Structure 1
Amino acid sequence: MEDHNTANLSEPASPANSVASAEIAAEFAALSVEEKEQRRAEWSQELARVEEEINTLRTVLASKTRHASDLKRKLGITVWKEVTDDVNQGLKNLKESTVYQRTESVLKSTGEKTASVFGSITSGISSKLSQMKNSESMRSIEASVGSAYENVKALSSVVRWRSLIR
């Protein structure tokens, strides 16, 4: 049972790894019990060394990160300035990209065409409104509204006078 567990310690990532894993598993299965225990002990020691190196590297990295932060603080470089600089650089790179420039060109062309279409539509509407305004029907409506306004205005004066008299 132990041999099957050892062969499946990690899943192969590719067909080449699968073949290599199968060969390693076959070699390990061919070892005697003492040799298997010795291999496991060697691998455990190596794993402990590698984990210790990783922890040392993490400690050194943390120390270097703190030192860099201190230097940035002394230079007046804030996190906000770094983020702003990164964003500005990203925008600059984006604006310099060919995709952005092509898109901008297409949008500009589309905007000009749209403005031209809307311009012709609005000039047509303005022309129609102007024709309507100068029509006999519109003049008749304007006269009626003006007359009605004058009547309401006069009526309101009469009502105001009556309220003052009482």
Structure 2
Amino acid sequence: MEDAEQGSQQHPDAIPEVGEDAVTAVSPSSPVPTMTDEEREELQGELAKVEDEIQTLSQVLVAKEKHLADIKRKLGITPLNELKQNITKSWQEVTTSNAYKRTSETLSQAGQKATAAFSSVGSAITRKLEDVR
């Protein structure tokens, strides 16, 4: 824990890690502006309000995710179907890319040249074997 605190002191702009409170991520060496009790109370009230809003939004998000899962279930969309669709879409994107087309074309040409070379070698070996007989 002490290392984490030192890390946040060395990098005050660092994003808090999972489970790390934004308040603890602020470097204690940062100058705290002097403020009146009234300003402090106002900020604490605003802090509480923002925390409440975050909690509410989190609850709404959970409810929306449940609703989404219910809709997908009713439509027969399973995680496996979604995975298949994602793979199909990704494969289509790959095969339509310029890099894929160029690579495919190059490999096709290389295959044709290799086939021609093997054919020539085969013919040469056949001729040599015929000469030996």
Distance 2:32 2:53 in 1: 29
Larger Rg: 1
Letter in 2 for 1:130: E
- What is the aligned partner in structure 2 of residue 82 from structure 1? 82
Q: Sort the Cα spacing of 1:36 and 1:124 in 2 relative to 1 into closer, same or farther, 3 A.
A: farther
Q: Sort the Cα spacing of 1:27 and 1:117 in 2 relative to 1 into closer, same or farther, 3 A.
A: same
- What is the aligned partner in structure 1 of residue 6 from structure 2? none
User: TM-score scaled by structure 2?
Assistant: 0.68
Note the 1:124-143 alignment, pairs <5 A.
124-132=124-132, 134=133
Letter in 2 for 1:109: Q
Distance 2:39 2:119 in 1: 83
Distance 1:55 1:115 in 2: 67
For residue 46 of structure 1, report the CA deviation from its aligned partner.
2.4
Greater relative contact order (Cα < 8 A, sep 6+) = 2
* Structure with greater proportional helix content: 1
- What is the aligned partner in structure 2 of residue 52 from structure 1? 52
Q: Sort the Cα spacing of 1:122 and 1:59 in 2 relative to 1 into closer, same or farther, 3 A.
A: same
Q: Aligned with 1:77: secondary structure?
A: coil
For residue 12 of structure 1, report the CA deviation from its aligned partner.
4.0
Note the 1:1-166 alignment, pairs <5 A.
11-12=12-13, 28=33, 31=34, 35=35, 37-132=37-132, 134=133
Letter in 2 for 1:11: P
User: TM-score scaled by structure 1?
Assistant: 0.56
Letter in 2 for 1:46: E
Distance 1:45 1:129 in 2: 96
Letter in 1 for 2:82: E
Letter in 2 for 1:127: R
Q: What is the root-mean-square deviation in Å for CA atoms of aligned residues?
A: 2.6
Distance 1:101 1:107 in 2: 10
